[in-house]
């Protein structure tokens, strides 16, 4: 079993994290830059010593500030796969992969046999004799994946594993990782900003904000029922937070009405969630049936093929056709009205999880 438990604080970074990862699961860690995601990986890997806390993996104590326990990184059975492959330039691909089992004490022949097995698993046997400068970015990352897994780690840490790959290479590496993780039943913690990584690889997602875990749930729940501005943005949806009222949420731009969950209770914290495609844009104040009407200032226009994403200064976005944008003569600074039918708005209660 390779269950992970982390409860740690790093005072200088304002980090206070509390996380449990079940054996065999893949957890995506999301959040804005500087939120504490890399600090979390560093604590688990043993590269950062927390001021206070406990890290346990598979029943073994890796860090315990109460007893001054700190297992060094190379003895943790934790492998880190970073954005860059970071292969040893003077070694062949096969020797790079064999390095980890050799370091763990395997004899040369056994280490090379294990390396050959993992090169086959990542479809890179033909690259065995090449050196890193002879590899493309995608090929190098395949070798890095094989090297990480050849160490037979209890836990795999993935730090933006597809971020440095081009758009034509990333899907293949993502598919490879998905296959490897599922077939091996490996426990993994993955930092990413890409919703495709989350959807393809993870079965659970946590969102870190200001050094705390502010959301924690299944991938489906976090992406369809976001409770923070960041998770809403990564899911490509709008989120307006505030206090719950009857059939709505009292937000900084006014009361937004919608379809409420059963547990919505007036006075509690809540969020109104709706897709940009549900927002209509008007140059004049609309009249007629009851709906949510928000007066906004256009901040940015983003072309998306046949549609245009209209971002407002309040953070709400509308997705309309290119023809509609042209008819409205939209430009940054223009004042318009965003209109959303109440039936298109999902309102749920927010009970964000906090670390510590």
The yes-or-no verdict on residue 54 having pLDDT over 90 is yes
In the chain, % of residues over pLDDT 70 = 97
| Residue 187 pLDDT greater than 70, yes or no | yes
Model confidence pLDDT, tens digit, residues 256-315: 999 988 888 899 988 999 999 999 999 998 877 667 999 999 999 999 889 999 999 888
At residue 290, the pLDDT reads 61
Q: How far apart are alpha carbons 153 and 155 in whole angstroms?
A: 5
pLDDT for 281 = 95
Tell me how far apart the terminal alpha carbons of the chain are, to the nearest angstrom.
25
- CA 130 to CA 27: how far, in whole Å? 33
What would you report as the CA-atom Rg of the chain, rounded to the nearest whole angstrom?
A: 24
Residue 229 pLDDT > 50: yes
* pLDDT at residue 163, rounded to an integer: 81
Q: Which residues are CB-contacts of 259 (< 8 A; sequence separation ≥ 6)?
A: 342, 343, 345, 346, 347
- Report d(CA 187, CA 168) in Å as an integer: 27
Handedness of CA 218, 223, 226, 232 (dihedral sign): positive
Angle between helices 137-150 and 93-103 (to 10 degrees): 20
Burial class (CB in 10 A: 0-12, 13-18, 19+), 253: middle
- Rounded distance between C-alpha atoms, residue 346 and residue 225, angstroms: 8
Q: For residues 300 and 332, is the Cβ–Cβ distance under 8 A?
A: yes
Structure tokens, 33: 């830059």
- Beta-bridge partners for 255: 250
Ramachandran sector of residue 14 (left: φ over 0; alpha: ψ -120 to 50; beta: rest):
left
User: Whose CA is closest to 53, among 5, 112, 124?
Assistant: 5
| CB 40 within 8 Å of CB 6 | yes
Quickly list DSSP for 266-329: TTSEEEEEE-GGGEEEESS---SS--EEEEEEEEEEEEETTEEEEEETTS-EEEEEHHHHHHHT
Q: Give me the pLDDT at residue 1, please.
A: 64
What is the mean pLDDT of the segment spanning 222-247? 87
Q: Is 170 within 8 Å of 134 (Cβ atoms)?
A: no
Using DSSP's 3-state secondary structure scheme, residue 213 falls into: strand
Please check the confidence at residue 356 and state whether its pLDDT lies above 70: no
Confidence of residue 351 (pLDDT cuts 50, 70, 90): low
203: CB partners within 8 A, 6+ apart: 25, 26, 27, 218, 219
* Predicted pLDDT at 106: 86
Range of weakest confidence among 176-185, 210-219, 258-267: 176-185
pLDDT one-digit tens code per residue, 132-144: 999 998 899 889 9
Query: What are 11-43's pLDDT values in tens digits?
Result: 999 999 999 999 999 999 999 988 999 999 999
pTM for this model (two decimals): 0.78
Region at 325 (left for phi over 0; alpha for psi -120 to 50; beta for the rest) = alpha
Percent of the chain whose pLDDT exceeds 90: 60
Query: What average pLDDT does the segment 55-67 reach?
Result: 96
Cα separation, 241 vs 143, whole angstroms? 44
**Residue 47 C-alpha from the chain's centroid:** 21
Mean pLDDT of 201-212: 93
């Amino acid at each position: 079993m390779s269950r992970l438990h982390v409860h740690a604080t790093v005072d200088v970074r304002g980090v206070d994290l509390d996380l449990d990862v079940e054996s065999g699961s893949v957890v995506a860690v999301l959040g804005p830059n500087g939120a504490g995601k890399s600090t979390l990986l560093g604590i688990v890997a043993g590269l950062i010593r927390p001021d206070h806390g406990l890290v346990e993996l598979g029943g073994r104590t890796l860090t315990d500030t109460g007893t001054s326990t700190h297992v060094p990184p190379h003895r943790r059975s934790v492998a880190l796969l970073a954005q860059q492959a970071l292969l040893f330039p003077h070694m062949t691909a096969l020797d790079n992969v064999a390095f980890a089992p050799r370091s763990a004490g395997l004899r040369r022949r056994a280490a090379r046999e294990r390396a050959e097995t993992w090169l086959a698993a990542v479809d890179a046997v033909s690259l065995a004799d090449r050196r890193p400068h002879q590899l493309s970015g995608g090929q190098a990352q395949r070798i890095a994946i094989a090297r990480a897994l050849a160490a037979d780690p209890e836990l795999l840490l993935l730090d933006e594993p597809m971020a440095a790959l081009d758009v034509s290479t990333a899907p293949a590496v993502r598919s490879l990782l998905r296959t490897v993780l599922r077939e091996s039943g490996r426990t993994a913690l993955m930092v990413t900003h890409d919703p495709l990584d989350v959807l393809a690889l993870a079965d659970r997602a946590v969102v870190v904000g200001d050094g705390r875990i502010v959301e924690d749930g299944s991938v489906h729940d976090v992406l369809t029922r976001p409770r923070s501005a960041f998770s809403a943005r990564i899911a490509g949806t709008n989120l307006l937070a505030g206090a719950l009222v009857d059939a709505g949420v009292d937000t900084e731009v006014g009361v937004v009405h919608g379809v409420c969950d059963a547990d919505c209770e007036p006075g509690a914290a809540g969020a109104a969630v709706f897709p940009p495609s549900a927002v209509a844009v008007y140059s004049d104040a609309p009249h007629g049936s009851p709906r949510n009407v928000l007066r906004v200032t256009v901040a940015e226009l983003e072309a998306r093929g046949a549609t245009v994403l209209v971002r407002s200064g309040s953070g709400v976005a509308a997705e309309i056709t290119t023809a509609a944008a042209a008819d409205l003569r939209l430009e940054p600074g223009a004042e318009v009205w965003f209109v959303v039918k109440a039936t298109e708005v999902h309102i749920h209660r927010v009970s964000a999880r906090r670390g510590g």
